[in-house]
Amino acid sequence: MNDEPGSTGGPAHRSWWDRLGHMFSGEPRNREELVEELRAAQANGLLSNDTLTMVEGALKVTELSVDDVMVPRAQIVMISAESPLTDILAAVVESGHSRFPVHGEDKDEILGILLAKDLLKYFGDGEHFDIRAILRPAVLIPESMRLNVLLAEFRLSRNHMALVVDEYGGVAGLITIEDVLEQIVGDIDDEHDDEEEPTLMHAQPGGDWLVSALTPIADFNEQTGSAYSDEEFDTIGGMVTSEFGHLPEVGEEIVVGDYLFHVTEADDRRVQQFRVSQKPAQD
């Protein structure tokens, strides 16, 4: 038997490793070239789409500042220190948040942060409620602070929320550790977030698409202008796997109609993702 590795995807993989080795052995390159190499690795199956997204997100947080992602002042759920316990409980239940800035006479006078869990001991004992006695210190940060610096401060201080102040000392917005992490890993949903349909197709520079195998054929046709039949198969994964005649591995590709389908993610049970491009022109 031939001990040489299969040719499927091999040259592309070696080419990427050669370029990556050159990148680290030669003079430093800019960030755009690094991202380009990482995207090439993802297209060739060396990185998953999720991994690529997180790496790009980690690079992005070094460029973004707090005012790029903060919740603006008008959308902050604040609580007045003079509010009765019943009103505070109503605001907590309605918003679904776990932390609330508490203000004094006006919304620029931040007295501290109220944790919803600290209200539990006052159920049935509203007479002894004193909101000022249970407030946690508020963290105030400038709008210009870089997200990577803020993330490091959150980790060191174990705080989860900070109030953003403008150049005049007024409250401009609010930011949480979740807001920062979402720039790296994508949206983090909890039980209070409205569910959204996942995006199954992602347009790429140059006209290619990253397409989930679960994409309905009708949706693919709508996005690309193609005319694949969905009478026999419902999804792109089912249609393309049938054309292969076997369960394809990462790196394999096949032309179906007007498009070339390159497998970028797969396991031992099913294909998960394709990179789709226009069929190469015939000579």
What the block records as the tokens of 127 is 């007479």
Global pTM? 0.53
The residue assigned the tokens 């997200």 is: 147
Query: In Å, how far are 42, 46, 47, 79, 194 from 50, measured between CA atoms?
Result: 10, 12, 8, 38, 22
pLDDT of residue 197: 59
Share of residues in the chain with pLDDT > 90 (%): 33
pLDDT of residue 9: 46
pLDDT of residue 112: 93
Mean pLDDT on 17-40: 63
- Phi, psi angles (nearest 5°) of residue 98: -110, -15
Mean pLDDT on 13-24: 54
Query: Residues with Cβ < 8 Å from 228, sequence gap 6 or more?
Result: 217, 220, 221, 236, 239, 256, 257
- Phi, psi angles (nearest 5°) of residue 28: -60, 140
Residue pair 246/179 in contact by the 8 Å Cβ criterion: no
- Summarize pLDDT for 185-223 with one digit per residue, the tens: 776 655 444 555 568 999 888 889 999 999 999 999 999
Whether residue 2 is predicted with pLDDT greater than 50 in this model: the reply is no
- Summarize pLDDT for 219-256 with one digit per residue, the tens: 999 999 999 998 888 889 989 998 998 889 999 999 99
Mean pLDDT on 141-160: 89
Q: Comparing C-alpha atoms, which of 157, 108, 165 is closest to residue 137?
A: 157
Between 86 and 240, the higher pLDDT residue:
240
Residue pair 124/46 in contact by the 8 Å Cβ criterion: no
- What average pLDDT does the structure give for the chain? 82
- Summarize pLDDT for 98-107 with one digit per residue, the tens: 899 999 999 9
Buried b (16+ CB within 10 A) or exposed e, 191-219: eeeeeeeeebbeeeeeebbbbbbbbebeb
